Chains A and B, each alone.
Chain A
Amino acid sequence: MESPYARTLIVMPALNEEASVGAVIREVYAALPGVTVLVVNDGSTDHTAEVAAQAGARVASLPFNLGVGGAMRVGFRYAMENDFDNVVQVDSDGQHDPSGVPALLAELGSADLVLGARFAGEGDYRVRGPRMWAMKTLASVLSRTSGARLTDTTSGFRASGPRAVALFASHYPAEYLGDTIEALVIASRAGLVVRQVPVSMRVRAGGVPSHNPMKSAVYLGRAGLALVFAFARPASSYYVRSNE
């Protein structure tokens, strides 16, 4: 009998995550039996690829670092070429709890793109200061565009249905922040249904999130710019192949 997750591809962009990637992969397999995990090794200089392969994931290695957007495009293209229906992005640092994936997939029944939102009640993930204002502003603008109530637009924990996979395989933005913010605009403008599901988020296994005000200002500026240009692009640049 085919597993309910047989046509779901978990894509994990990984840059120098040898310490956590193996455990995350095993956790995903435990939570979602029958799923396929594709680790996109984004130019790591450590043993991320080997560790991921040992843990049973399929591994695609980029020749140099492209950023999360480029890594996700590899994932979407792989899904298209290998007949996967759904793609779920899961961070390789253990920040995303794989037990939240079934909730995302369930929502895909009536939506094309489902975001796992970190502030929607579950878990204990918090940000403050300018970064929070930036996130709130983005959320309100993007909620209006997509017609769905979104509170966490920069969440990387998201599931894409067949129509979104087809769109993103050719149009996933590769710019910094484009992969989260612009992808939402692209999806909305292409007429896809965007939803949000609350998920619990864990503290990152390694590294500390930045609360440097200068970095927050830069982040806000780049996010704003990404948003403005996402809206300014000609509508003809986004389309979904209708025979999918």
Chain B
Amino acid sequence: MTPASYILGIVAAVLVLIVVVELLRRRHLRERHAIWWIIAGVLALIAGVFPTTLTWVAGLIGVEIPVNLVFFVGIATLFLVCLQHSSELTQLESKTRILAERIALLEMDDHRPANAAAPTATATATATATTKRKSGSGA
């Protein structure tokens, strides 16, 4: 390993950590999303500063070429983060949907007087009937 590639590894890891911490500091990233990037950055930093640890761990779990362990951990991390994002997207969609449904009902309440004054006779009759029924039920 050349000194240049040794330094490149460390600089890349430090850069990742700096960016993540800065985003956290400015509240552009929530802790729950940052945690994976911090773990990945710290692992990369350890492997960058002490390349022997990578070789040692790879040997320990029987990975013959240490760099393959890096690829495996990298891909696994990205995969899990993607999955987490998909899941959170789903939750956000469902919250947006619920908000849209609530808004539809709330706007309806706001426009109730306008509905009652609707131009056709049927509309007025229905609105009155609805009001009567509601006051009758005592809700």
Chain A interfacial positions (CB closer than 8 Å to B): 2, 6-7, 26, 29, 34, 36-37, 40, 53-64, 66, 70, 73-74, 77-78, 81-83, 174
Contact = CB atoms under 8 A, between A and B. Distances in A.
B15 interface: no
Interface stretch (B1-9, B18-26, B95-103): B95-103
B73 interface: no
Contacts of A61: 104, 107-108
B68 interface: no
Contacts of B120: 54-56
B123 interface: yes
B52 interface: no
Given A66-B97, A82-B134, A83-B139, A56 B126 contact: yes
Contact of A62 (B104, B122, B133): B104
Contacts of B113: none
B41 to A, nearest CB: 36
A116 B115 CA distance: 31
Contacts of A60: 104-105, 107-108
Given A58-B108, A61-B104, A83-B139, 5 more contacts: A56-B120, A61-B108, A63-B100, A63-B104, A73-B101
Interface in B111-134: 115, 118-120, 122-123, 125-126, 129-130, 133-134
Contact of A54 (B100, B105, B119, B129): B119
B101 A74 contact: yes
B137 A70 contact: no
Contacts of B133: 2, 6-7
Interface residues of B, number: 23
Contacts of B97: 66, 70, 174
B130 A58 contact: yes
Given A64-B100, A74-B101, A59 B108 contact: yes
Main SS at interface, chain B: helix
B101 to A, nearest CB: 5
Contacts of B130: 36, 58
B133 to A, nearest CB: 6
Contacts of B103: 62-63
12 contacts: A7-B133, A26-B122, A54-B118, A56-B118, A56-B120, A58-B115, A59-B108, A66-B100, A78-B108, A82-B134, A83-B137, A174-B97
B13 to A, nearest CB: 41
B101 A56 contact: no
B123 A53 contact: yes
A66 B101 contact: yes
A61 B137 CA distance: 26
A36 B132 CA distance: 13
Nearest to B118: A53
Interface string B78-96: 0000000000000000100
Contacts of B100: 62-64, 66, 70
Contact of B122 (A6, A29, A73, A77): A29
